[in-house]
Structures are given as C-alpha cells and as structure tokens.
C-alpha cells in the first residue's frame, strides 16, 4: 500500500489559521470524521490526552501527528494532512506546529506501515520543507503521492 492510499477523499487541506491547538485538531480530524474513519469520541480522546500528557504526537519541528488509541473510536485506518499557513502553539515550551497529520488506526498493527512510510518521508529535509511550504492542496497530494 502506498502512503497516499491511506488518505481518504478531501483529507488533504490548507487552512489559514487555527484559533488554538484544539481547533487545529478539529481541522486535522474533520475529513476522517466525515469519511467515518473515526467517531467524535476519538477526537475528544486526543484533546483529553493532550491536556493530560502534553502534545506527545509532535514528531519534528513544526509537525504533529494527532492520534489516540484504536479503542477510543478509530473505525478504519487512514490519515489526513492539514497545513496551517499560520502556525499554532500546542505547548508553551514546544515549537509551534504548521503541519498536522491526523492518524486513525483501527488496530495497533494497521498503522505501523503508514507511520514507517511517513517517518521516511519526514526524514527527508527537502520533502519536509516542500510540505511546509506547499501553496496548494494538489501540491501537498503530489508530494505524498511520490513517497
């Protein structure tokens, strides 16, 4: 399975700004919710977990991968990508986030391949820079499709 295959329809988006990290998570999860990959409990679990444990899903400077445990309401395995033109602060001492990769993993094994492919992508500095500086949703999709 290619990385792009994990992204349901309309799951790659660019937003101007999020009022706060909670809204950034809503943006990140909206397509997964609309496509029945997660239910609203899953989104609440991410927010509760962030409040209790901090933003444990910040992967790299500027990049976060919000997710919760499969049993919290993940229905199907999939991903979304949201680029914020204006970065948002998740925690005072963390770097602000611009790129959110929403993850829904229906079980513990199903997302390992997706995360591996994604990690490889994010390790490439020029690919990460291209994602962070993309000007259109098509550009974002094309970068993911090449992975």
Residue with tokens 């993940």: 74
In angstroms, the CA 6 to CA 62 distance is 22
**β-sheet bridge partners, residue 38:** 74
Residue 67 bears catalytic tag: yes
Rounded to whole angstroms, what are the CA distances from 106 to 16, 25, 28, 29, 133? 30, 18, 17, 15, 31
Helices and strands in the chain: count of H runs, count of E runs? 5, 5
Q: Where are the beta strands (DSSP E) in 49-121?
A: 58-60, 63-64, 78-88, 97-104
Could you say which of 32, 43, 55, 67 is catalytic? 67
Backbone angles phi, psi at 101, to 5 degrees: -115, 105
Catalytic residues: 67
């Amino acid at each position: 399975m290619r990385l792009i295959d994990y992204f349901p329809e309309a799951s790659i988006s660019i937003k101007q700004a999020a009022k706060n990290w909670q809204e950034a998570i809503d943006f990140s999860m909206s397509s997964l919710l609309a496509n029945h990959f997660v239910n609203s409990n899953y989104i609440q679990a991410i927010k509760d977990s962030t409040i209790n444990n901090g933003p444990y899903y910040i992967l790299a400077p500027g990049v976060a991968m919000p997710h919760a445990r499969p049993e919290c309401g993940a229905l199907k395995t999939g991903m979304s990508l949201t680029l914020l033109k204006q970065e948002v602060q998740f925690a005072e001492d963390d770097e602000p986030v611009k790129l959110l990769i929403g993850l829904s993993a229906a079980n513990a094994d199903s997302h390992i391949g997706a995360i591996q492919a994604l990690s490889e992508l994010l390790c490439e500095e020029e690919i990460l820079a291209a994602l962070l500086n993309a000007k259109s949703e098509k550009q974002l999709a094309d970068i993911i499709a090449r992975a």
